[in-house]
Structure 1
Amino acid sequence: METRNTRDKQSIQHLINQILPALAQTVHQHIQPVIPMFENFVLEQVVDTWTKDPASDLDDEISIEKGNVQQVGLRLKLESFNKPGAEPFDVTKNMLFKLEYSSYTVGPDKNSPWLEKVYQQRWEKYEYEEIAEQWTEELIDSISAQLVK
């Protein structure tokens, strides 16, 4: 397979088909103790087909096929906290892959990068673990903040 070092259809598909599922699996392992506290749990992949590349034509359609998607990621939804003595609440967390021309960043939003990678660069096991741990810490902080309201 030819190595691609720019954002294009193949590099985006690699992220969606290889990296995101492996990261989702690692995240799921890390948040396992938290899941039973809620009635419903969803961990899904997301693809942003709304955000346009500032350098693109206004009429350009945003799609994986065109290789011009700007963001992909994971969304976690924990719904209806169900512990006695606490008001039910929901928690939603995003993990965003901000796709630049020759690299991408991973973080909880587009302004807080935790990791930067070049397209097609192999992820090491420790990188999956570190990202999952950081995200889990933010999730626990969000749940704790809701409980002290």
Structure 2
Amino acid sequence: MEQPTRDKQAIQHLYNTILPALAEQIHQSILPILPLFDSFGLERVIDTWTKDPASDADEVISVEKGNVQQLGLKLRLEGFQKPGVETFDLTKDVLFKLEYSSYTVGPDKNTSWLEKPYLQRWDTQEYKDIASRWSEELIDDLTQRLEKLT
């Protein structure tokens, strides 16, 4: 059987099915820290500006063309509230780096926690593992910020 490659269908599947399920898992895992902030946003993002090094300089990047290189989730935590500490915001991404026949998932483009072929289903444990690693990093980021401020 031929391996599915990065195309419109694969990208739409990640964007419409995998990302919302992962966002839900992440939301559950960060519930305990949400009350520390005024507001939060967790949104899906598609990178339509990073070009494939092998592509034509004029090529348009879009889901329709199936040539998007990256997509993911962006979390914004705004207005940290704690007496005696200056308020601050925190942002964190989870990035899906789309290769030719598979994709990797991690907190940035140089770190990979999971690699999967396109259209392969995620099992519940994979969602939980990514969400928990990501949440642990978020809590580390938060702790470091607080240590600098206090």
State the 4+ residue runs in structure 1 displaced beyond 3 angstroms. Answer: none
1:66 paired residue number = 65
Mapping of residues 101-120 of structure 1, within 5 Å: 101-120=100-119
8 Å contact kept, 1:71–1:97: yes
8 Å contact kept, 1:38–1:81: yes
- Compute the displacement of 1:65 (Å): 0.2
8 Å contact kept, 2:3–2:101: no
What is the TM-score normalised by the length of structure 2? 0.96
- Compute the displacement of 1:75 (Å): 0.3
1:77 paired residue number = 76
- Compute the displacement of 1:4 (Å): 6.4
CA deviation string 1:13-67 (max 9, x = no partner): 0000000000000000000001110011000000000000011111100000000
- Compute the displacement of 1:84 (Å): 1.1
Partner of 1:117, secondary structure, is strand
Distance 2:100 2:140 in 1: 33
Partner of 1:98, secondary structure, is strand
2:35 paired residue number = 36
Structure 2 unmatched ranges of 5 or more:
none
Structure 1 unmatched ranges of 5 or more:
none
2:5 paired residue number = 6
8 Å contact kept, 1:103–1:116: yes
Distance 2:84 2:127 in 1: 35
8 Å contact kept, 2:97–2:103: yes
Letter in 2 for 1:120: L
Distance 2:82 2:23 in 1: 26
- Cα RMSD (Å) of the superposition? 1.0
Matched, 1:91 2:90: yes
1:135 paired residue number = 134
2:15 paired residue number = 16
- Compute the displacement of 1:87 (Å): 1.2
8 Å contact kept, 1:4–1:120: no
8 Å contact kept, 2:73–2:94: yes
- Compute the displacement of 1:90 (Å): 0.7
Residue identity over aligned pairs, in percent, reads 65
1:52 paired residue number = 51
Q: What number of residue pairs does the alignment pair up?
A: 147
